[in-house]
A = this chain, B = another copy of it.
Amino acid sequence: MKTIKVGLIGTGYIGLVHLEMLRRLGVVEIAAVADTNAGLAQAAAGKFGIGKVYDGAEALIADGEVEVVHNCAPNNVHFEISAAAIRAGKELLSEKPLALDSRESAELLELATKHGTLTAVDFCYRYYPVVQEAAARARRGDLGEVRAFVGHFLQDWLFYETDYTWRLDPKVAGRANVVADLGSHWFDLVQFITGQKIVEVMAELHTCLPKRRKPKGGVLSFGAGAAGETEEVAITLDDYASLFLKLENGARGSFTTCQAAAGRKVDLEIQVFGSKESYAWSHVHPNALWIGHREKANEVFYESSQLQTEGTRKYATLPTGHPIGYHDAVFNLFRDYYEALAAKRAGNATNANFPDFRVGHDMMCVIDAAVESDKTGRWAAVRR
């Protein structure tokens, strides 16, 4: 089989995860990497035996051998890179958020549609096997009508005043921090599991730590505390957000997120209450789906290549009971994307269900509505 040539832009933490998971796919060859930090790119290339290294996105996009671009650059250049890649005729898998606001993401979506690009955005949490199972059960009617939902996404990596990240800088991160970075994953799960769009939000964005110490040198995501000099900076973006949400069918929900919650690491939890049963899932123990009942005992469904519904079985990539991790969720998304790509090339239809730029744009619209609601102190409609 002919391999597919991939070029990856942005070799920070998440870029390396992409590279490792791409290598698990037999059909893919990583042809090139690019990063404005040349040392990072060089190190990644060395580690994985990648032939070409570029010091910028432009050069990689110009490389004719590259068929698919993975956009793992910081938020503020997502738009520019994705737009260029689409125009250059590349297929495109982007990290979230798609862009800095919904105006940009709308433009990307339009551009991708025009060029027939096969797009994806890395909302990987939906690719844990039991999250797929919850969605499949809801789709076949087990959940009944969704009535309510609730959850949170809590972390503690911004707990100390000495914790700093470019995500807190509006120039790089856009108009929101945590509601965009973590919220978007959770909103995607709500829509994916319930099959309903979020149509209206009431949001409160808040800054728990209004002053922080910023390293005078730069910082990497999730990096160890820099030892160097720091300066005090005022923080205006949110490290806490809470939202009320309405779905198309009138169902209500609420969501809270915070990155200063000591002891919570990647603690995403979602509960969905339907007219027939309920689901609860926590990323802390990501292989168990809780299924709630009124008239009988509740169930705990552990990921299972034997017991999952037909369509979701393939995401439980190991015999029942061998735990799936974060890497596997990312891998599952990539596998769906590259299968769809193979189908596209073969001229076949595909019913793959991975999140594409329509989903990515949708999340930007929800975030924009949240920012607007926070400003006005009123509910805001999600304008798509």
Contacts and interface: CB of A to CB of B under 8 A. Distances in A.
Interface of A: 1, 3, 13, 17, 20, 23-24, 26-27, 46-49, 147-148, 150, 152, 154-157, 159-160, 202, 204, 206, 208-209, 221-222, 224, 240, 242, 244, 252-254, 256, 258, 260-267, 271, 273-274, 276-278, 283-286, 290-302, 304, 306-307, 317-328, 377-379
A160 to B, nearest CB: 7
A302 B1 contact: no
A327 to B, nearest CB: 6
A242 B244 contact: yes
A323 B321 contact: no
B242 A254 contact: yes
B263 A294 contact: yes
Contacts of A252: 204, 206, 208, 240, 242
Contacts of A157: 319-320
A113 to B, nearest CB: 32
B26 A298 contact: no
Contact of A302 (B265, B276, B318, B327): B265
Nearest to A285: B285
Contact of A291 (B263, B306, B327): B263
Contact of A278 (B261, B273, B322): B261
Contacts of A321: 155, 264-267, 283-284
Given A156-B292, A263-B278, A148 B299 contact: no
A328 B256 CA distance: 31
A266 B202 contact: no
A321 to B, nearest CB: 2
A297 B300 contact: yes
A16 B356 CA distance: 29
Contacts of A284: 302, 321, 323
A216 B75 CA distance: 59
A260 B184 CA distance: 27
Contacts of A266: 319-323
Among A150, A159, A221, A253, which residue has the most Cβ atoms of chain B within 10 A? A150
16 contacts: A24-B24, A26-B47, A147-B208, A147-B209, A148-B258, A154-B271, A242-B244, A262-B294, A263-B294, A265-B320, A266-B322, A285-B285, A298-B301, A299-B299, A318-B327, A377-B379
Given A17-B318, A325-B322, A262 B277 contact: yes
A202 B307 CA distance: 37
A297 B307 contact: yes
Nearest to A324: B325
Contact of A148 (B221, B261, B283, B306): B261
Given A296-B307, A298-B299, A260 B273 contact: yes
A319 B13 contact: yes
Contacts of A378: 377-378
Contacts of A278: 261-264
Given A258-B273, A307-B295, A379-B377, A319 B222 contact: yes
A291 B285 contact: no
